[in-house]
Structure formats: structure tokens, C-alpha cells
Chains A and B, each alone.
Chain A
């Protein structure tokens, strides 16, 4: 036992996995963009990783109990930020999602992911019981759905959806009554297609956003063009892949946003099934390592924080990989640590900072 939490108690195995995944991401970003006007993107991504690591270190120093103390205030702050973004945020590609912060444009919804992890962790810890009552469930639902609604209005369906698993996994771990679970599953089953339907018919601008963001040709070349191009990239990669920098779907731009949301398709084309196995097993290792940290957490609060992070990362991987092979519709959810993106990468490292934070403190009295 130590007197004070120390950086040497970081989960170095976890960091090793993160480094491998990030490295694969950087390579694929390089391959996808080096011959295009976007060349040099991998350096920007590397910078974000550096910033993320620094953030991770900083956040690990603040005792998570202190963070949980401040959770209500943070929650109110996050909601306020989301409202501000909606009112006066910097609009890009048809979506109000960014606020300008000292030159950098930050995606507030990424910050909200961290806050919801803390807020729900605190709530679930406070419940004090092995069984959640209906009132508890309703409160959790409200806590989650307010930011979800605000993010949906941006509109950013992907990020909004990502908040839900934090509540679901948290509730499952806190103890859900079977009947509540059943009702919840039924409600989800009813709401998801409805939401999808809304996206198509009630909010054309939302649809427009995704189209514009991912690839402008979608409507012109018929529905499913992106998915098809992604599938072609994946399928044509074969078992061994076409080789680094040699994927025609990737290099010639057939894969939509190949450096970001569809980076797994680009990787699958160039590195083949072997490469996909490697990457997906790395992600599985990441998840299992996170769950291990949750199991060994000093208290329930720590466990909820770690599992909140796990829920979000796992959901990202599941939805993104499914989209790439056409099992799920295109929603604009990036692959954590691999997809190019400043705020998203920073979030992952900050979230891992919370995990380190919990881990370091189990060695402390």
C-alpha cells in the first residue's frame, strides 16, 4: 500500500494496447491521406494523442471521489454548454456541434460523455441497494435523456446514442428488476426504429448532415452507396489484404471518409482479414482489461466510472465495425483511437485517465 497514488501504478498493459491501436490508426490515416490534399493528417492526429496523454495524466491526479463530489455541478455545466452550442455554436457541415475555445473548436458532446459517466456513477453509487426501483429508473432515464435530446438537436445522432449504454450498463450492474429490464428492452425495441424513422422523414436536415459529412454522392448514386463501397473495400481486401497503401478503394477515394468513420474499411482492404483480426482482438483486449480494472476497483463508485468508460468505448467499436460491414446503418460513430478526430481522441484519453485514476487509488489507503 502506498501513501499517495503514483503514476507507476498506471495500467501499463492497457496503455500498451492503446498505443498499438493508436499506432495502427496513425498508419492507416497516413495511408488513406498521404496521396491526397489532406496529406499530413497523421501528424495532427499524433498531436491530439499527445494532448490526450497529457489530459489523461492530469485527470488521473484528481481523486475521482472529488470529481464525483462535483458531479452535479459538472452535469449542470455540461447541459449549459450544450444549450449554448445550440444557440450560438460554431456551425460546420450543417451541424452545430463545436464551440470555439482559444482557437480550437471543441465538440461539447464529447465533454458530455465524460460528465454523464461521472453523473451516472454517482447516482448509481448513491442508490445503496441491490435493486433499482422504478423511481430510480425514471431518474436515470431523465439524467440521460436530457443531454441525449440536446445532442440530437445539434443534430448528432451518433454521439447522442453513445450516452445510452452508460445508463444501460450502469443499471444492469446496479441491479435491475427483471420486469423493468423486460419493459426497457421492449421500449428500446420500439423506440430505436422510431428514432431511425424520424431521422429519415421528420428531420431531413439531419439526414442531410450525415450525407454531407460522410460523402456528398450518397443520394445521387442511390441509397447504400457508402455501405456498398465500404463492403467492397472490406471484401476485396481478402485474407491477406492488398498491402499498405495499395487498396484501390481506399487510395482512389471510393471508401467514404476513409480516414475517419470508415477507417476500419480502409484497414480491412489493405491489411486483410488478418489485420482486422489483430485490431478487433486488440479492442477485445482493451475491453477485457477495462472490465478487469472495474472488478478490482476499490469501491463501487470506481467500478461504475470504469464501466461507464467501457460501455462507451465498447459501443463505439460495436457500432462502427458493424457499419463497416453493412450490419448497421451509417450513423457517424468513429472507431475510438483509430479514426481521425481531435475531440473524439481527446475524450478517449481523458476517459482512460478516469480509469487510471480509479486504478491508482486501489493501492492507496
Chain B
């Protein structure tokens, strides 16, 4: 046997015993470690384990629908699926990308960009790679559950605007809640919540927004849902009924095809808005899905401002429509005799400057001044009244201030006065400027909805109706600016003449049978040189027509603005006539509704045209 085999060497019993004691100490220390975690801090860790295990999935409540005055659907919501990409496992992710690109028809660049954008987000938070999944996309995800566990479907509620561009500027659009909005309402909004961003969607957001439900689910370590614990159902948002009449709206929209401008039609007794148009416009369906940044930039920076609601936001010279205010001021102020006449040779000189008229009208009294829209007559009236009298009546009739319509961002327009000149321009009012204001040019600026209300006020003896879009709106009070019966008589006779007398500015072109249709034309020069330069073209005059019927105590009023439309009588007046005619046709029961523009956008295709993935052949 080898030398090492000697067995007489003593076993070091002491050291072995020491080893045993050390082992006991080590095991006891380990147990102390476990004790600390499992007994001392067990509550804390139990909490963390629950947070690991349970995930809260919001059940999105659909927003309330918007109906027209007869209950027809203008806006609704539909359930749709978004496709989520889980990013927990970067290796599997990289491997699956080509398959995902092909299966969901997402371009490589797009997907890469989305992943890049979410690079700093926590990896366990999935990203939405396709906000609006098509049926084919859903089928793809469902059939690849096993080999592509990175894809998940999430049900969302999406806004649908069946009529596309119709009433778009008034309805507005929805979008993801902004950080600022969240800061204001920290309890209400979570990131990614959809809120109204403009128009009625924003105005009545609180009414139509529902209460999201919540699903508590158990997830595994890669975020896959294992089972549902409980469900709190979503409470859908309440529907709202609008004062809009879809029939009148469609008539007006059709007339505005390829035109720029705005229209407001109101019930002249209540202020209910029956139709509201603004052009150019946009399709709010584009916002209901995720609007691609370039498109958003285009919409926002377009010099034609398609997102603006011109019916309440365009502040423009009213042109001759303002002569209604002038006439009222002349008669009510009693500063000038009601029988005052002026001679119109086709132009006149005031303060050393020549002011033109359309043509030589000869001797003109108030009636002829309104009917033929003689500028020289009103130049003289303006000079005799002075800016502050004009300003008083213009403001009294609701110009230069918001009408209080239930839409965000209404503009006030501007009625100049001596005080205004000193405050804003820091100089005294030039009397010469009054001459321009007298025919609705110069500093005076109005919105279409203001002009509609103004005309109604004059024709009804001073009732300032409250324009509004929500049917059954609570507690709406009319304003009052009493006008004497005599004045109403004379001015409305003039406006009746504009439409019905042979020398009226509309030349009898917009007469309506059996309807006491009246109104006032306007053709306003465009002052915005900057805009003209931007558009690179010389703008034609803006055409206005504000019409109403019947001639006293009207039922309906329609204000139309056709920008760069030239003469109000030929551009705007026919549109107003069409709407008023449709209103009476409906009333008489022989209205033929135009073909509906509603389209089925239930399962919209891709939000934008998608380039086929590079190098991939698809049938």
C-alpha cells in the first residue's frame, strides 16, 4: 500500500467539531435572514407580490352619441381593437419583428420608429403598434397566439363621424388628453384617455364622457393575462341632442362644396342653431385614430386654417350688411330725420378723400339706401352720426362681443369707438375712418353668427336671441335692446326690398314663392394683405348675405359668408335662399331630403396608406 495509506495519523477531532459548530451558526444566520424577510417584512413583500400579479385593465367607456334635432345620429362610437406589442423579451421581439411587419402590414421604418420612440418607457409597458386593427389584423393576432405571444389585442372605443366632414368644425374632434389637462384634473384623467379637443366634443366633454370600467386580471411575468379576477363595467357617456337639422345642414354643406367661408342658420325665435358650416374643413375621423404627425402639422399650419370654425371665429368686415346697423342707429338715435335724403353721383368726397359707390343712385332715401345698398347715402349718415353713436347701436345689437354660443373659442369681433382708438391705437379717432365703418369696412369686424343675431334683433324689435347647439339647453336668456316699431317697420321693409323689389341688390334672383324672404347683401373688401401674400394671390371680395323670413318676427335666419366669392348677391344669397327654402319645404311637408352622406366607417382600414414592407411579397 502506498505511503499515504498510513492509518495511524490522528483524525483532528477538535477541528471537525469546530466545523460542526460553524455550520450550526451559518444555518442559524440564514434562518435569521429568512425570518427578516418572511416575518418582519412579510407585509411589504406580500404587497409587492400582489402588485406583480394583478394588473388593472381599463374598460373604455364609449362617449355619448350626438343626435340631430330629429334624433338622427351625427356622431357615435364603436368598439375597435388596438394591437399592442409587448416588449418584455427583447430577443424574442427582434426575432418576431419581420413576421409582425408582414402580418400586420406595418412598414419596417414605421415599426422601428415606434419602438425607438418608446425606448425610454419601461419595458413591461406594451406599446400600441396599430391603433385601429382591421379584421385581417385581428385574425392574424388570434391565429399566432402561440408563436407570437408578443402581440395582444386591446378593446377600445373609437369615435365615429358617419358624415365625415359634415359639421366637422362645429362637432370638433377628440384626442389624447394633454399633460396640461391632466394636471388640471389629476383624479379624472390617466395618460392616453380620450377627451374632446375642439368644438362640441370639447364643450360637452363632461356630459358625453363616460366612466371607464376596470378589469382586474392576473398576469404572469411576461404580462400575459392568466385570468380575470373581477370586472367593473364601463358606464357609457350620455347622448346629447343637438339643435342641428341634418337636412338643412346637408343642403348648406352641398352648397359650400369647393367654396370657402361659413354659414349659420338659426331658429330666429329661440337661437337654436339649425345648420353651421365652415370651409375649408377636415375629417374628424382622422383624429379618432392616431393622427400622424405630418398630417397634424399640415392641418395646423395650413394658411387656410381648416381647423377654424369660421361661423364663430372668422372676424371679418361685414360690408354692407352693416348698413342694417346704420339704418337702425339713424332712426333710433333721432339724430337725423327719417326722411333724410342724400344725392349719390357715384362717389363722394369726405375729409379730402374720394369714397366710391357702386354706381350713381341719384337721390337716395333710407329705403332706397338699403334696397340698392347705396354707399354714398350711408357715408353721409355715418358722418352725421359719428363713430360713438354707431358704436353704441352696433354693440347694442350684439356686435363686438361674443354671442355666448355653446362652443369653445368664439371670437368677439370688433366695434371701434373713440375710446377704443385711444386705448388700442393711442391716438384720437380719425373722423374719416367713420366713413369706412359706415359701410362695414375699416376697423369693424364681425363673425357670421353675430350678424345673424343682429338681423334678428332688428327684425324682432330688439330681442337678442342666444345662439346655441344643445337642444333642451337649460336657462337660456335672450338679451334685449328695444327698438321702436317704426324703426323695425322701415328697416325690415328695406330688407324685404333687397330680395323682392326690382332694384334690390339681389335683382330678384333669390325670391321665394309664398315666403316673406328678406335680407341684406354685403360685399366686403379683404384687408388681410398678409394672408393674400401668404396665399400668393389677390383675393376677391368676401360675399355676405344674411337672410331671414318672415319679414317681421322671423322664424329663421341664415347668415352666409363666401370668402373671395365676389358679390354677396350672387355668391352668398343663393345659398341662404336654398336653406330658407328647405326650411319652409320641410315645414310644408314636401321636402325631398338629399342623399345621405353618412358612410359606414365601422372598421376603417389603415389610418394612412401603408407602404408594403420592403422585400415582402404580398398577394
Contacts and interface: CB of A to CB of B under 8 A. Distances in A.
A301 B5 contact: yes
Contacts of B39: 238-239, 273
A221 B27 contact: no
Given A236-B42, A287-B23, A325-B33, 10 more contacts: A216-B89, A229-B52, A231-B37, A235-B42, A235-B45, A239-B38, A248-B218, A252-B53, A252-B218, A280-B27
Interface string A243-261: 0000011001110000000
Interface in B269-314: none
A27 interface: no
B180 interface: no
Interface size grouping (class) on chain B: 35 or more
A221 B11 contact: no
A223 to B, nearest CB: 14
Interface string A225-247: 00001011111111100000000
16 contacts: A122-B4, A126-B3, A173-B15, A220-B90, A235-B41, A248-B52, A252-B53, A254-B52, A254-B220, A276-B34, A280-B31, A288-B24, A299-B6, A303-B12, A310-B19, A318-B30
A17 interface: no
Contacts of A239: 38-39, 42
Interface stretch (A151-159, A290-298, A344-352): A290-298
Given A122-B4, A217-B88, A281-B27, A295 B16 contact: yes
Contacts of B38: 234-235, 237-239, 268, 272-273, 276
Interface of B is mostly: helix
Q: Which of A175, A232, A273, A301 has the most CB of B within 10 A?
A: A232
B52 A234 contact: no
A281 B28 CA distance: 9
Given A233-B49, A236-B45, A268 B23 contact: no
B44 interface: yes
Contacts of B13: 295
Contacts of B45: 231-232, 234-236
B5 A173 contact: no
Nearest to B220: A252
A232 B41 CA distance: 10
B596 interface: no
Interface string B29-59: 0110111111101101110111011000000
B252 to A, nearest CB: 57
A133 interface: no
Contacts of A126: 3-4
B123 interface: yes
B199 to A, nearest CB: 43
Q: Which of B12, B39, B53 has the most CB of A within 10 A?
A: B12
Contacts of A125: 4-5, 9
A208 to B, nearest CB: 11
B27 A65 contact: no
B221 interface: yes
A253 B17 CA distance: 42
Contacts of A172: 15
Contacts of A283: 27
Given A254-B221, A280-B30, A236 B48 contact: yes
A300 B9 CA distance: 6
A282 B171 CA distance: 74
A232 B52 contact: yes
A129 to B, nearest CB: 9
A221 B31 contact: no
Nearest to A217: B88
Interface string B103-127: 0000000000000000000011000
Contacts of A249: 49, 52-53
Contacts of A217: 88-89, 123, 221
B226 interface: yes
A283 B17 CA distance: 17
B16 A294 contact: yes
Nearest to A68: B4
B617 interface: no
Contacts of A175: 12
B335 interface: no
A208 B224 CA distance: 25
B383 to A, nearest CB: 79
Contacts of B52: 229, 232, 248-249, 252, 254
Interface in A290-338: 291, 294-295, 297-301, 303, 307, 310, 314, 318, 321-322, 325, 327
